[in-house]
Chains A and B, each alone.
Chain A
């Protein structure tokens, strides 16, 4: 996955993500693609969650999956999550759950609950940072005011780090793939460097939904695992998504 929240020089916040999934879950030799990734693409749907006929939040999802991986609470915040690998992973959480220790939350149920019930960027950030989880994760959160964009690096129990947009430091965007931002990514899966190179090349002046789509369309940020790209603009309350393909030659991950 790749998620990015950026602030343009007029203070607009835009949030984009590629949802990559299906690694090592069966390779289709003839079509040079991952089997599960290809089976997930037809299931991609955009959802408008309503209460009293009013939109509460919108999301890009896989039909049949009730949790949330990508969503917007119009005019309030935008949220995506990326997978985080850790030895202290979900299987431990599941074991604890089976043994009756049920004070943790399933990751995508937490994001769904935050999108449904949180009413501000700060409230969302607090809940994502402090709620005990069954599995580690990265939460990428965008708000509706200048500077409101962050990456929350979570272990199952703790909020390890929160990296926020800081215009004074020249950090006009935050970008996450699947590795702790203070460490080098796995050398055979460095999508971060190419993505940041393209963001810096685009510049803060030219960043928009369009140019974020360009960044997310550049190989290897776009790869064989990429099922969809979603673009969100909190001030417009807009969410749009596109099912992707990565024609050969293309990186398997």
Chain B
């Protein structure tokens, strides 16, 4: 019963498809990832397109981390320690992550953090 609290809950919606209206922000672009390419090259097209948004999102996570640890030590730890960890990750993931860091210009440790975030988030 704690979940039936209109207007935060509502009757079952109908006729929402095709997606439209205020709950539909937009469609999603398609990209091809060519698995015949070397792992470090596979994500170049995607990251070239999305680099700015990726940098913004990672900056938001860094701002959050700095809110918890104002000294910046947490980000330093990420930037120093996680690059050492990337080579322990199995391929092709390790080389794909390095490729993404190279194309985006984002520090490798921060790209590693994004990719293991599910495990880190449990902290």
A interface residues with partner B (beta carbon < 8 Å):
25-26, 35-36, 39-52, 56, 60, 63-67, 83, 85-86, 89-91, 93-94, 97-98, 102, 105-109, 112, 116, 134-135, 137, 187-191, 193-194, 197-198, 201-202, 209-211, 213-215, 217-220, 222, 228-229, 241-247, 249-251
Q: Are B43 and A45 closer than 8 Å at their CB atoms?
A: no
Q: Are B12 and A214 closer than 8 Å at their CB atoms?
A: yes
Q: Say whether, besides A36-B57, A48-B30, A220-B3, A244 and B12 are in contact (CB < 8 Å).
A: no
Contact partners of A217 in chain B: CB under 8 A: 13, 16, 23
Q: Are B64 and A26 closer than 8 Å at their CB atoms?
A: yes
B2 at the interface (CB under 8 A from A): yes
Contact partners of A134 in chain B: CB under 8 A: 119
Contact partners of B90 in chain A: CB under 8 A: 105, 109
Cα–Cα distance between A39 and B25 once the two chains are bound (Å):
13
Q: Are B57 and A40 closer than 8 Å at their CB atoms?
A: yes
Cα–Cα distance between A109 and B121 once the two chains are bound (Å):
16
Q: Are A244 and B64 closer than 8 Å at their CB atoms?
A: no
Interface residues in B6-61 by Cβ distance below 8 A to A read 7-17, 19, 22-36, 43, 46-47, 49-50, 53-54, 56-57, 60-61
Contact partners of B100 in chain A: CB under 8 A: 64, 66
Contact partners of A47 in chain B: CB under 8 A: 30-33, 46
Cα–Cα distance between A35 and B63 once the two chains are bound (Å):
11
Q: Are A241 and B28 closer than 8 Å at their CB atoms?
A: yes
**A187, closest chain B residue (CB):** B2
Chain B's interface: helix, strand, loop or mixed, by majority?
mixed
**B111, closest chain A residue (CB):** A64
The residue that B53 contacts in the complex, of A43, A109, A191, with Cβ under 8 A, is A43
The total of Cβ contacts below 8 Å across the A-B interface reads: 205
Closest Cβ of chain B to A90, distance in Å, is 3
Cα–Cα distance between A28 and B91 once the two chains are bound (Å):
38
19 contacts across the A-B interface (CB closer than 8 A):
A47-B46, A49-B35, A56-B35, A63-B54, A64-B111, A65-B115, A66-B96, A94-B116, A94-B120, A106-B118, A108-B118, A194-B3, A197-B12, A213-B16, A214-B16, A218-B13, A220-B3, A245-B25, A251-B9
Contact partners of B54 in chain A: CB under 8 A: 43, 63-64
**B14, closest chain A residue (CB):** A214
Q: Are B123 and A90 closer than 8 Å at their CB atoms?
A: yes
B89 at the interface (CB under 8 A from A): yes
Q: Are A46 and B60 closer than 8 Å at their CB atoms?
A: no
Contact partners of B2 in chain A: CB under 8 A: 187-188, 190
Q: Are B53 and A42 closer than 8 Å at their CB atoms?
A: yes
Cα–Cα distance between A110 and B15 once the two chains are bound (Å):
36
Q: Say whether, besides A50-B35, A190-B3, A210-B17, A90 and B122 are in contact (CB < 8 Å).
A: yes
Q: Are A213 and B33 closer than 8 Å at their CB atoms?
A: no
B97 at the interface (CB under 8 A from A): yes
Q: Are B19 and A242 closer than 8 Å at their CB atoms?
A: yes
**B118, closest chain A residue (CB):** A107
Closest Cβ of chain B to A222, distance in Å, is 6
Q: Are A222 and B118 closer than 8 Å at their CB atoms?
A: no
Pairs A-B, 4 closest by C-beta atoms: A90-B119, A89-B122, A63-B50, A198-B12
Contact partners of B13 in chain A: CB under 8 A: 198, 214-215, 217-218
Q: Are A246 and B57 closer than 8 Å at their CB atoms?
A: no
Closest Cβ of chain B to A50, distance in Å, is 6
Cα–Cα distance between A109 and B65 once the two chains are bound (Å):
25
